Structure 1
Amino acid sequence: MRGRFDNLRRIEALDPVADHLEIHRLTLTEEFPWDMRMAFNLAFNRSFALPRVAKLLCETGTILRAPRKRADDTGIIMYEILLHGPDSARGRLAVQRLNAAHRRFTLDNGDSVYVIAALVVVPMRWLQRYGWRRPHEHEREAAAVFYRRVGQLMGVRDLPAGYSAFANAFDEYERANLHHTPEAARIERTTRDLLRGRIPGPLRGMADALIGTLYDEQLRTAYDLARPPLLARAFVHLSLRIRALLLRFARPRPTPLFANGIVTKTYPNGYELAKVGSAVGS
């Protein structure tokens, strides 16, 4: 029977550059499946708050009309790249779908670097705070190598190299560029339902207060949201820490996430990858 820390020992023995895909796949599909998916949601939410991104998304309107399809298309493409590798045949097809979705628009390169950095940094910081164990240095570096490669295939320039460089770039760009706009607030109101779906059923009556506690002060300011009550903030933090403690002593996940394929509400009966992605860039 696989032990709770067997994957960690495996990760420690791997090379974070040469074996980055295997490491990052383990982090997502076996070690922290719920945490990583929640953190990816939060990472994309941060990118929606960038003024240029928010303005473009409101102008194109797909995220306002069909937020679930856009989220599912984005998730499918990113998970396909991770599960199969960006340089595999299926990974290349997923990257092509990603690029096709963005090709219609002129994107600011600094914003694009920030979006890639958010996918590297936000999940690792979430795990540092709420994971059942802290992320290993190899997991941080593997994430940086993986998303740097994805960014390069998307044509993003001047990408940082290494986790620390990504974290510094992420923080510096936020301080200079993340601020409130009406468009950002509108997108947050629309996409909040997606995060509500990640809240356990018995707690959904408190979903709005709980989601607000998952945003830091800078993001709440960008979205023009009031700081949640102290009781709500304490409840969320304590609940997530208790969950982490319980998971630390739980049995490992018996099967990896997505072992039976990627199932979403938009495509309950499966999907054809070549047709996924029309809503991603708009």
Structure 2
Amino acid sequence: MRGRFDNLHRINALDPARDFEEIHRLTLFHEFPWDMRLAFNLAFNRSFAVPRVARLLVATGEILRTPRKRADDTGIIMYEILLNGLDSARGRLALRRLNDAHRGFDLDNGDSVYVLAALVVVPMRWLQRYGWRSPADHEREAAAAYYREVGRRMGVRDIPSGYAAFAEYLDAYEPEHLRHTPEAERIEHVTRDLLRGRIPGPLRGAADALIGALYDEPLRRAYAVPRPPLWARAGLHLTLRIRARALRFARPRAEPLFANGIRAKSYPDGYDLARVGAATGGPAAAPSAHGSARTPAAGGA
């Protein structure tokens, strides 16, 4: 029987500068699937509070009209790239869909670097606080190397090198750029339902308070979300810490996330990767013969 720390031993035996895709796949699909998917939601949410990003998303309109499809499209594209590899035929197709979604928009390079930084740093900080174990240094560095390469293939310039540099960039960028706008508030209202779906059924009645507790104070100010009551903040923290402790002594996953294909509510009959995001009115939320096959369509990032 596999041991709880077998994947960690495997990760630590790899080189994050060379094997960053394999390490990041183990982190996301094997070790922390629920945590990483929630943390990606929170990372994208932070980018929506950047005024230029919020204005562009509201102007293009799709995030307001069909937030579920937009989230599913973003999630499918991002997971397809990692699941199949940057240099695989399907990974290259997903990257083309990502670049197509951004083509024709005057994106600020600093904002694009910030989105990459959020995708690197926010999940690792979540795992540090609520993961069943702390992320290994190899996992942090692999995440940084992976998103640096994704950004490079998207034409993003001046991307930080290494986890510490990404964290420094994020921490310096947010005080100046994460602030309230009417557009950010509108986006939060329509995307809140996506986070409600992450709340366990018995707690759905307290979903709004718990979502507010998932946000930190800078994000709450940017979205004009009131500070949640103490019971929500303390209860959420305690529940997540108990969960982490229980998982530490649980058996490892029998099979990875998406072992049976990526599934999304927007594509109940499966999706054609070559057309995912084709109806998008604006850029995805990433920095927001193989390829045309229909695939069993996970929720968005």
In structure 2, what is the equivalent of residue 140 of structure 1? 140
1:18-64 Cα distance to aligned partner (Å, 9 max, x none) = 11111000000110000000000000000000000001111111000
Which runs of 4 or more aligned residues in structure 1 lie more than 4 Å from their structure 2 counterparts after TM superposition? none
2:60 paired with 1:60? yes
Q: Where do 5+ consecutive residues of structure 1 fail to align?
A: none
2:60 paired with 1:47? no
Taking the TM superposition and a 5 Å limit, the aligned residue runs for 1:122-201 are: 122-201=122-201
Separation of aligned partners in 2, 1:72 and 1:125: 24
Separation of aligned partners in 1, 2:153 and 2:212: 34
2:101 paired with 1:101? yes
Counterpart code for 2:64: L
1:112-159 Cα distance to aligned partner (Å, 9 max, x none) = 000011000000000000000000000000000000000011110000
User: How much identity, in percent, do the aligned residues show?
Assistant: 75
TM-score, normalised to structure 1, is: 0.99
Q: What SS class does the counterpart of residue 171 from structure 1 fall into?
A: helix
In structure 1, what is the equivalent of residue 288 of structure 2? none
2:75 paired with 1:84? no
Separation of aligned partners in 2, 1:115 and 1:142: 17
C-alpha displacement of 1:104: 2.2
Counterpart code for 1:270: G
Q: What SS class does the counterpart of residue 185 from structure 1 fall into?
A: helix
In structure 2, what is the equivalent of residue 277 of structure 1? 277
Counterpart code for 1:46: R
Separation of aligned partners in 1, 2:157 and 2:22: 25
Higher helix residue share: 1
In structure 2, what is the equivalent of residue 267 of structure 1? 267
Q: What SS class does the counterpart of residue 28 from structure 1 fall into?
A: helix
In structure 2, what is the equivalent of residue 26 of structure 1? 26
In structure 2, what is the equivalent of residue 217 of structure 1? 217
Q: What SS class does the counterpart of residue 82 from structure 1 fall into?
A: helix
Separation of aligned partners in 2, 1:80 and 1:198: 21
Report the number of matched residues. 282
Separation of aligned partners in 1, 2:201 and 2:194: 13
Q: Where do 5+ consecutive residues of structure 2 fail to align?
A: 285-301
In structure 1, what is the equivalent of residue 115 of structure 2? 115
Separation of aligned partners in 1, 2:251 and 2:103: 45
C-alpha displacement of 1:169: 0.4
- Which is further off, 271-280 or 10-19? 271-280
Separation of aligned partners in 2, 1:147 and 1:56: 23
Across the aligned residues of Structure 1 and Structure 2, the Cα RMSD in angstroms comes to: 0.8
